[in-house]
Chain A
């Protein structure tokens, strides 16, 4: 099974699939498993996980990773699922943003709110300069060697990159809406020091509101103090807005799946299959009448989905419900337990 999304629901699906001896591979755009729980609120306590009066989101993920360890799932992290292709034999090939291809008879979308992507500032013509002077993340710092760089943002990543690039770029400007920074204290102090010695050009109470350039970015328009009359045009080679990440349904929205209220419609609670047979959607990413976006509901959906996926993958095998108290985590294989019955002796 190919699972898109390594949040709590996707991880637990590995466990339920493992009991049925189905091997799983997970794809996630984030560099670590856990989804929102790891990315947004690892230190927040959760109170509605059955049998855990209180558990930190990060610990929940750690526990799930421990729980699925025996089933040895594969992980493709830091890559976003981009396209899906259905083959003649009914299986699917999913290709990631990095071009990695995975093939499986069943695809399970457990994508939560979507993949986490950089927040793009609402500058009208920003798309024109993407990869042509505007970068939302820094993959290769050497690309900025001896270049003029304008960074926007006031969080840790804006501060950290301003510090780092001050040694690489020919000129670094840091534009922030407020006069104070909310990043780690030592980073704030370091930026302040570098500003004093002229290594970082600190521009506060200001915003980048426009971009200029014919074929590539040539300058940014900086508005001071929210007043349109106080605008400054600053020549630059690169503009790097760093405003954190926000979740987007992303390319999945174009896979031909029925979408309702920014979520994937499934066939109620029967087996959480989408309008494309063989593609399931579980957890926060799906919607059906009575849907509740809770982790515990995602767990339930994972269990129901797995028995349906098993039947799809092995139509000739009979599914038998088993308890882990009886079978442990070794699960079962339908062919062993449910061989065809034949009448060997008739009783009259």
Chain B
């Protein structure tokens, strides 16, 4: 077992301290979904290919430890709404030991 602790603030503003495994090839979007912190169909719609932006999160700390944005992520964030300087697509963030103590907030979902 090599879990790390991550704080995820859901769309209602409630903070959840969750365990995230570093040895299961998971990304942050999958962690959010596995803990059901956003309704199905409103997050990770494309399955994690950086092609829908529904998993956009704001990184509240440790931004410098995250992998750089790839072309597809930049492209999607370019078309997404509610984008801030600390916006990332959580499907593009693999869970690694360095992210122990990470704090993120899920961006609003644009139902339209």
Contacts and interface: CB of A to CB of B under 8 A. Distances in A.
A188 to B, nearest CB: 13
Given A40-B51, A44-B49, A120 B110 contact: yes
B75 A182 contact: yes
Contacts of A120: 110, 112
Contacts of B34: none
Contacts, number: 55
Contacts of B46: 36, 40-41
A155 B78 contact: yes
Interface in A231-274: 243-244, 246-247, 249, 261-263
B39 interface: yes
Contacts of B47: 293
Contact of B81 (A121, A247, A261, A263): A121
Interface in B74-111: 74-75, 78-79, 81-83, 108, 110
A318 interface: no
A315 interface: no
Contact of A182 (B41, B54, B78, B83): B78
B40 interface: yes
Given A246-B45, A261-B41, A177 B83 contact: yes
A312 interface: no
Contact of A262 (B39, B52, B79, B110): B39
Interface in B6-58: 39-42, 45-47, 49, 51-52, 54
Interface string A172-192: 000001100010000000000
Nearest to A262: B41
Contact of B49 (A41, A113, A153): A41
A153 B41 CA distance: 24
A119 B110 contact: yes
Interface in B48-72: 49, 51-52, 54
Contact of A261 (B39, B49, B54, B108): B39
Given A122-B81, A246-B52, A261-B41, A182 B110 contact: no
Q: How large is the interface on A (under 10, 10 to 19, 20 to 34, 35 or more residues)?
A: 20 to 34
Given A40-B49, A44-B49, A122 B41 contact: no
Interface residues of B, number: 21
A154 interface: yes
Contacts of A247: 45
Contact of A119 (B51, B78, B79): B79
B19 to A, nearest CB: 23
Contacts of B52: 40, 246
A155 B46 CA distance: 19
A154 B79 contact: yes
A177 B42 contact: no
Nearest to A117: B112
A252 B52 CA distance: 21
Contacts of B75: 155, 182
Interface string A125-166: 010000000000000000000000000011100000000000
A116 to B, nearest CB: 11
A262 B78 contact: no
Nearest to A120: B112
Contacts of B112: 119-120, 122, 126
16 contacts: A40-B49, A41-B46, A119-B79, A119-B110, A119-B112, A121-B81, A122-B108, A122-B110, A126-B112, A155-B75, A155-B78, A246-B52, A247-B45, A262-B41, A263-B40, A263-B41
Given A41-B49, A119-B112, A122-B81, 17 more contacts: A36-B46, A113-B41, A119-B79, A119-B81, A120-B112, A122-B108, A122-B110, A126-B112, A153-B79, A177-B78, A182-B75, A243-B81, A244-B79, A261-B40, A262-B39, A263-B40, A263-B41
Interface of B: 39-42, 45-47, 49, 51-52, 54, 74-75, 78-79, 81-83, 108, 110, 112
The 6 closest A-B pairs by CB, nearest first: A262-B41, A120-B112, A261-B40, A243-B79, A244-B79, A40-B51
